[in-house]
Structure 1
Amino acid sequence: MSENSFAALGVPAPLVAALAAQGIDSPFPIQVDTLPDTLSGRDVLGRGKTGSGKTLAFSIPMVARLAGKLAGGSRRPNRPLALILAPTRELATQITVALTPLADAYGLKSTTIFGGVSQQRQVAALKAGVDIVVACPGRLEDLMKQGFVNLDSVEISILDEADHMADLGFLPVVTRIMDKTPSSGQRMLFSATLDNGVDKLVRRYLHNEVLHSVDEATSHVSAMTHHVFEVDSVEAKRLLIEKLASGQGRRILFMRTKHHAKKLARQLTDAGIPAVDLHGNLSQVARDRNLAAFAAGTSRVLVATDVAARGVHVDDIELVIHVDPPAEHKAYLHRSGRTARAGKEGEVVTLVLPEQRKDTAQLLRKAAITVTPQRVTADSPAVTALVGDVAEYVKPLPRAAEPARGQSQGGRSQGANAQRKRSNREGGGAGRQTDNAGSGQPRRDRAPRAEGASAPRTGGAPRRSGAPAGNGGGKIAVGGLVRMSQGGAARRGR
């Protein structure tokens, strides 16, 4: 038995087998450090960079400690035994995907709770009785106020991405929720940093905690290569974006505003590069559909705002492009962390106009990134080498062939504006938030009301003839289910 194997760390055999079935055999450093303490019931404060394996670091001990507690048929309606709080719907879904195979090993039931969709199924699951709730704070507090969930039986509470919850203004809601859990329960808090009030959560809810810090707050993945490409004009930048997006692998392009993300996704699709968008103006159905198209390879390019900077994990993203440099260094690190995950390599490119050079240099210093800027055009050797083989041109559908009711290629209906306004007025949780660009963006766990399921294929373009569905085992959660692209199961959720 390896000294650092899951079994050697005390993980029960059924969970070791469940992990092995997914191709997960060796624990990551944060798992090696925290599991002995979390499995014994200690409170833990875990600090680690994005992609460091925090999800399994808390999912494994949660399931192991809950196992056997239902021997007497003790599962009760509306009273879960464990709670995981996450800042965004995407992250909550990803946690559920990683957690489910482990929970299945012991017959534990879980449900995911977030806004932007009807609460009917969530309420039904709670009434039927669940052991583990994975939730975003706003919708969970709504259901608590309505009497559909009671937290007085919670034995294990986990706060994931606590610093991001602070950035989104959720700490007052989180505090009200945590106050309803028994103080005698085990608590774990995972965060990249302890600023913006996260330290107050630690002092208030963790008792005699053990601190495990695998990486410094500003650290970046060693397998990640950073590039700064300087361009002389907006037109040169446009051509460079199109060239960088033309490769065969999956890539994410980050924008500051929702409007520009949607616009760029359409422009790339019109240029024969199938792209989908992801931002706060999309309904939950549209988000799921676009992420599924990206994971499957139907659309190789995802154009997103910072709503995708955390919690979105799709396998084998080879390139992250900061089309608009972010406002601060933490956003840069979290955006960049969508690539080079689970020990794989990745590339990160920041595009810089002349007036952005000073601010970008300052941002990179704060992020502890050392890189020499390069002045390039779309035809520069450095760009060509980064792009690699260019994907086959995909002819876009003519505008006349697009579906009725004004649905865009990103999956949004023009008639959804009234629904979005109604949804943004829903009570419970923090108020309206804004993204890093300063543009008004709905709260991350409360999107517009779901659109009909009959929407068209995303990206506005058919699949390439003879092209594979993706570059690897892309895997994504869609509406509570897991869809897998060609290539089978990959290591994920870590």
Structure 2
Amino acid sequence: MPSTFARLGVPAVLSDALTQQGITEPTPIQAATLPDSLAGRDVLGRGRTGSGKTYAFLLPVVARLVASGRPAQSTRPRSVILAPTRELAVQIADSLAPLAAATGLSTLTVFGGVGQNPQVKGLRAGVDVLIACPGRLLDLMGQGACRLDQAEVSVLDEADHMADLGFLPGVKRILDATPRDSQRLLFSATLDAGVDVIVKRYLTNPVTHETDSAQSPVSTMDHHVFHVTADHRLPVLKDLTAAPGRTVVFTRTKYGAKKLAKQLNAQGVPSVELHGNLGQGARQRNLEAFHSGKATTLVATDIAARGIHVDDVALVVHADPPVEHKAYLHRAGRTARAGNAGTVVTMMLDEQVRDVKALTRAAGIKPRTTRVDPSHPLLLEIAPGERSFVEGGLVLEVPGQNGRGGQGGGGGRGRGGQGRSQGQRSRGGRSGGGQGQESQEARGSRGGRGRGRGAAAGGSAQGGGRRTSGQSGRSGGQSGRSGGQTRSSGGSVVAFSSSTSAGRRGR
């Protein structure tokens, strides 16, 4: 009996590749869009983050290229997939890998923050599927290293986030370079004015499918607001993140993410940071530590709200409430993925009450608001399990350095990690490129370098670590073994609110 994907028209070689990955049933957005996209229609798909949009466009892209059978020409990719961030581009490449391996298609991932020479060489060799962030792609096009006049299909993923980051003018220039009669697929959680302009200008008689919107509630996601005092903010965060399983904690600023990760490590919670000031190597090491379980907590700015896909994150905490509701929804989308349950918690200080109420109202959610302290029983209810601590927090080995460096980019004053990830053309689904972020936040650290003040998440005297010298400047290391546990499928999202002065001290 054919699989569900096969009945939707997905070629057997691709449905078999999905089955080998344990993917046998399409999500609603996939079931809705695949018949039209596989038939060559332009498609506008609207669905919230975590709804399965990636395979909704990867399957028709690969199927179309296999069917046409045209060879890839030098500097002329056969398809282009645009993503707003480097992290998301890498996630798309990872999802594409088994499909490309099954069909023999070549892939390449290009973005800024790393050297372009390997990317240029990959384009010259010929590429079937190009995954790109707009900034670097425009640079390559301007140099004549990439031409899109042979692109059979173009995809715009997270179009609303493209608009938020100011990328739409560049996106227009890119789409203008593709053939007018080529197939175009656009996926977005919302259809704001800027995105609507793209739809009307570039999609021909598009079929629109909306399985849910950004404001659609997730039945398996619980929302809480924790009303805390400034003094209780960190102890409550410590208790929640010390529970079994993976937790993602969001802060409003890069400095806030660095400081909070450092504080949690000092308290014995293995944590890593992710933000625009980190060098390429540090970002990759920190993400790998979180994915592997060496770090149980990821402290991030909104850089991670789109593009971090870990199915068993059961708890998301807004240590700083986001400014607007779309950021809340995309942060929250890191949990309750792949059918699992999840919890979102927002920390709220006294002077943030009005803002948090407006935020949740705009997001279309009705959270449970509770005034809590570190001993409140609700903490154990939301994040069940025995709290565990590792002396000194997390220590990550930094390749190429003498001794151990602190996690996530170094402490004290100096240069953040200078790791370079080579974007390389690959066959069989190994996409070139590393991990990182292309956004306004990251532009200050082009080339993988970032100069900053303040200690990194892993290093300080509080953490009981030692200082060592390395290639990237002084970094604070911490002694102790890293520990990782797996959170049960049930989880929560918690939000905290507090006074402005306290919020500043916590950043």
3-state SS in 1 of match to 2:103:
coil
1:125 is displaced (CA, Å) by 1.2
**Structure 2 vs 1, CA of residues 27 and 263 (structure 1 numbering), >3 Å: closer, same or farther?**
same
Structure 1 residues 388-426: Cα deviation after superposition (integer angstroms, max 9, x where no partner): 223432111799x99779954322475437989xxxxxx
Question: How large is the Cα RMSD of the aligned pairs?
Answer: 3.0
Give the equivalent residue in structure 2 for 1:313: 309
Aligned-partner residue type, residue 52 of structure 1: S
Runs of at least 5 residues in structure 2 that lack an aligned partner in the other structure: 420-437, 452-469, 490-507
> For 1:159, which of 125, 149, 156 is the aligned residue?
156
8 Å contact kept, 1:289–1:458: no
Aligned pair partner of 2:353 in 345, 354, 357? 357
- Matches for 1:180-199 after TM superposition, within 5 Å: 180-199=177-196
Corresponding residue of 2:211: 214
Distance 1:58 1:321 in 2: 30
- Specify the alignment match of 1:448 in structure 2: 448
Structure 1 residue aligned with 2:318: 322
Q: Which residue of 1 aligns with 2:10?
A: 11
Residue aligning to 1:492: none
Supply the AA of the counterpart residue of 2:335: T
**3-state SS of paired residue (1:6):** helix
Q: Name the counterpart of 1:224.
A: 221
How has the CA–CA distance of structure 1 residues 175 and 470 changed in structure 2, closer, same or farther, with 3 Å as cutoff? Answer: same
Whole-Å separation in 1 of the counterparts to 2:314 and 2:156 = 29
Which SS does the other structure have where 1:374 is aligned?
strand
- Are residues 218 and 472 of structure 1, via their aligned partners in 2, closer, same or farther at CA, if it must alter by over 3 Å? closer
Question: Match of 1:289?
Answer: 285
Alignment of 1:384 onto 2:380 = yes
Q: Distance in 2 between matches of 1:433 and 1:468?
A: 30
Q: Which residue of 69, 74, 86 maps to 1:89?
A: 86
Aligned-residue identity in percent:
52
Say yes or no: does 1:60 pair with 2:59. Answer: yes
Secondary structure, in 3 states, of the residue corresponding to 2:88?
Answer: helix
Written as runs of structure 1 = structure 2, the 5 A alignment for 1:121-140 is 121-140=118-137
Q: Secondary structure at the match of 1:67?
A: helix
State TM-score, norm by structure 2.
0.83
Match of 2:430?
Answer: none
CA contact (8 A) 1:247 1:391 kept: yes
Aligned match of 2:47: 48
Structure 1 range deviating more: 312-321 or 407-416: 407-416
Q: Which moved more, 1:441-450 or 1:33-42?
A: 441-450
**Deviation (angstroms), 1:86:** 0.3
The corresponding residue for 2:328 is 332
| Match status 1:279 vs 2:275 | yes
What residue identity is the alignment partner of 2:344? V
Aligned partner letter, 2:181: S
Are the counterparts in 2 of residues 6 and 27 from structure 1 also a CA contact under 8 Å? Answer: yes
Measure the CA separation in 2 of the matches of 1:87 and 1:164: 7
- C-alpha displacement of 1:253: 0.4
- SS of aligned partner of 2:407: coil
Letter in 1 for 2:171: V
1:411 aligns with 2:409: yes
Question: Unpaired runs of 5+ in structure 1?
Answer: 421-431, 435-440, 474-494
| 8 Å contact kept, 2:245–2:485 | no
Contact 2:160 2:188 in 1 (8 A): yes
Change (3 A) 1:351 1:468: closer
Matching residue within 383, 396, 400 for 2:392: 396
CA distance in 1, matches of 2:204, 2:30: 21
The alpha carbon displacement at 1:104 in A equals 1.5
Q: C-alpha distance in 2, partners of 1:397/1:92?
A: 30
- Is the 2:75–2:126 Cα contact (8 Å) retained in structure 1? yes
Structure 1 position 454, deviation (Å): 9.4
Q: 1:212: Cα distance to partner?
A: 0.3
What is aligned with 1:79?
Answer: 76
Structure 1 residue 445: Cα displacement:
10
> 1:97 deviation in Å?
0.4
Q: Work out whether residues 49 and 214 of structure 2, in 8 Å CA contact, stay in contact via their aligned partners in 1.
A: no
TM-score (norm 1): 0.85
- Judge conservation of contact 2:394–2:407 (CA < 8 Å) in 1: no
Q: Work out the CA distance in 1 between the residues paired with 2:346 and 2:120.
A: 44
